[in-house]
Amino acid sequence: MKRRQFIKIAGITAGLTGLSSSLMGCSSAPSIELIGRDNKQLNQDDIRLKVIAYAMLSPNPHNKQPWRIVMTGPKSFYLYVDMFRLLPATDPYHRQIHLGQGTFLESLSIAAHEFDHDADIQYFPEGMYGPEEIVEKPVAHITLLDSTRKNQSRFFDSLMRRQSIKTPYDNYQLTPKELKYIETLYNYDDFPLTFSSHPDTVHTIRRTLIEAMKIEDQGSDRVHETVSMFRFNDEELLKYQDGFGVVHSGITGIKKIVVEHVLLNRDKVEKDPSDFGKKAIELTEEQANSASSFGWMTSATNTRLDQVKAGRAYCKTHLILTQMGLAMHPMSQVLQEYADMLPLQKRFLEQLNVPKGHTMQMIFRVGHAESTAYTPRRQVQSLLKA
Ligand SMILES: Cc1cc2nc3c(=O)[nH]c(=O)nc-3n(C[C@H](O)[C@H](O)[C@H](O)COP(=O)(O)O)c2cc1C
């Protein structure tokens, strides 16, 4: 499939003449593909660090990696939200940040199995806080129990391969057989998962996701929050080891060098993010219009525990689809809770027949696409704080 791109490259030859030879020689730079997934990071001697390093490969909002770990014993530790890694403009009540705690726990549990342990997870051991507040209390206490089952997880391979693929898809419609297969493996009954390829529904979803991105673009704090997590070049990826960048939109090779060094730069975009916002809308149009299968997950209540478990359910869904060779990508703008978004969100939930009062926790597109570079992860030790 021919990949279209986030940034349309005009005047590529003119741009190239301005490139210095040092930029052209980027091939000697450390591989950005391996930041946070190299052998040293993953082959930790300490089983706690080992499963945490794998858990860090889970999907999480804006690749913020909002996790903090406090060790409590030779095989046990607390998971906290890292209060310095929130997204207050687009996720004002930190719902998505809590989904990102659940994705971490799902991956952790799979990694524990792979390495002959069972992860015993006690949620909110010091009490749960409200869905609109955030308190310095652990989200979970995890104890790694020796497993006698020698139980390799059937999803471990998917855990290593999974990625949120943001390039255009191929308008694929999931077949009844595939839907049945997903249903068989999906084991989070409290978080109903719905898929649709019906043309009317697909049309409604596409239109809404694009409209939602336009609304997001109207808030300068929201755009700046995304810009702050956008990594404009490999140097930024290496330095911050979080976020996502040009290469994760499928732009590679010489075009990537041109985009990173000629067309996009942080100073310019931070001063005036209007072009960046326009590109985000164009990208959303390409993403939405190239998908003909969408999935969404709801919950009847929306406590912090629901959000964490919904994160687990989302991660599991993504792993199942990865195993099936399908690409998947969340498009969350319409679900965000800032005031400007609420009227569109309300209408959307009604159009998709979500029962009144229920929460849509995730919405995503599904299809086929080539894989892109993996997003980076920080070093596992950076999560450890006293
Ligand atoms: C709760 C949640 C919300 C997300 N929302 C979006 C989104 O709106 N748009 C998007 O491109 N990716 C979204 N993602 C995907 C993340 O950007 C992605 O997981 C992160 O950058 C790490 O990359 P990876 O999934 O390829 O490992 C979301 C992920 C989670 C867990």
**What is the per-residue pLDDT for 153?**
79
Please tell me the residue having the least CA distance from ligand 1 atom 4. 61
pTM summary value:
0.92
As given in the structure block, the two tokens for residue 294 are 């969408």
Q: Is the pLDDT of residue 20 over 50?
A: no
Ligand 1 closest atom vs CA 100:
31
Question: Is the model's pLDDT at 140 over the cut of 50?
Answer: yes
**Most confident by average pLDDT, 232-236, 324-328, 381-385:** 324-328
The structure tokens listed for 32 are 């950005």
- Cα 59 to ligand 1 centre (Å): 6
Q: Ligand 1 pocket: which residues have CB below 6 Å?
A: 59-63, 96, 99-100, 103, 163-164, 166, 244, 329-333, 375
Q: What is the mean pLDDT of the chain?
A: 90
Closest residue by Cα to atom 19, ligand 1, is 59
Closest CA to 356 of 294, 298, 296, 295: 298
Q: What is the mean pLDDT of residues 209-217?
A: 98
pLDDT tens digits, one per residue of 326-349: 999 999 999 999 999 999 999 999
- pLDDT tier, 145 (very low <50, low <70, confident <90, very high otherwise): very high
Which of the listed residues 6, 158, 164, 309 should we mutate to test ligand 1's pocket, taking the one with most ligand atoms within 8 A of CB?
Answer: 164
**Out of 16-25, 95-104, 160-169, 325-334, least confident range:** 16-25
Structural domains of the chain ordered from first start: 33-160 (3.40.109.10), 163-367 (3.40.109.10)
Residue type present at position 142: I
Alpha-carbon distance 318 to 106, whole Å? 11
Q: What percent of the chain has pLDDT over 70?
A: 91
pLDDT at 11 over 60: no
Which ligand 1 atom sits closest to the C-alpha of 315? 31
Q: What is the pLDDT of residue 250?
A: 77
Instruction: Return the pLDDT at 152.
Output: 65
Tokens of 26: 């980027």
pLDDT of residue 265: 84
* Rounded Cα distance, 283 and 248, in Å: 12
Q: Are strands 293-299 and 230-231 parallel, antiparallel or unpaired?
A: unpaired
**Given a cut of 70, is residue 27 above it in pLDDT?**
no
> Does residue 170 carry a pLDDT above 70?
yes
pLDDT at residue 386 in the model: 54
Q: Cα(52)–Cα(75) distance, rounded to whole angstroms?
A: 12
Query: By alpha-carbon position, which residue is closest to atom 20 of ligand 1?
Result: 63
Q: What is the pLDDT of residue 31?
A: 81
Cα 270 to middle of ligand 1, angstroms: 22
pLDDT of residue 30: 58
What's residue 166's pLDDT?
A: 95
Distance of CA 355 from the midpoint of ligand 1 (Å): 26
Q: What is the 163 CA–ligand 1 centroid distance (Å)? A: 9
Task: Report which secondary-structure segment, H or E, holds 77.
Answer: strand 76-81
Grade residue 361 by pLDDT with cuts at 50, 70 and 90: very high
Structure confidence at residue 26 as a pLDDT band (50, 70, 90):
very low
In the prediction, which pLDDT does 225 show? 96
* 65 CA from centroid of ligand 1 (Å): 11
The CA 118 to ligand 1 mean position distance, Å, reads 27
- Higher-confidence residue of 43 and 148: namely 43
Atom of ligand 1 nearest to the CA of 332: 8
pLDDT in tens, 242-283: 999 988 887 777 777 777 776 778 998 999 999 889 989 999
Query: Which DSSP helix (H) or strand (E) runs through 118?
Result: strand 117-123
Q: How many other C-beta atoms lie within 10 A of the C-beta of residue 25?
A: 9
For the segment 352-379, the average pLDDT, to the nearest whole number, is 97
Query: What pLDDT, on the 0 to 100 scale, is given for residue 29?
Result: 52
Give the Cα separation of 5 and 184 in Å (integer): 36
Q: Is the pLDDT of residue 5 over 70?
A: no
Task: Answer yes or no: are the C-beta atoms of 183 and 295 closer than 8 Å.
Answer: no
**pLDDT category of residue 222 using cuts at 50, 70 and 90:** very high
Give the pLDDT score at 22.
32
Query: What distance separates the 2 farthest-apart alpha carbons in the chain?
Result: 64
For residue 262, report the distance from its CA to the centre of ligand 1, in Å. Answer: 27
Query: Ligand 1 centre from 32 Cα, in Å?
Result: 18
Ligand 1 atom nearest 96 alpha carbon: 1
Q: State the Cα–Cα distance between residues 190 and 62, nearest whole angstrom.
A: 26
List helix spans (H) across the chain.
12-17, 21-24, 39-42, 47-55, 95-114, 156-161, 176-185, 199-217, 220-229, 234-240, 253-258, 266-271, 274-289, 304-323, 342-351
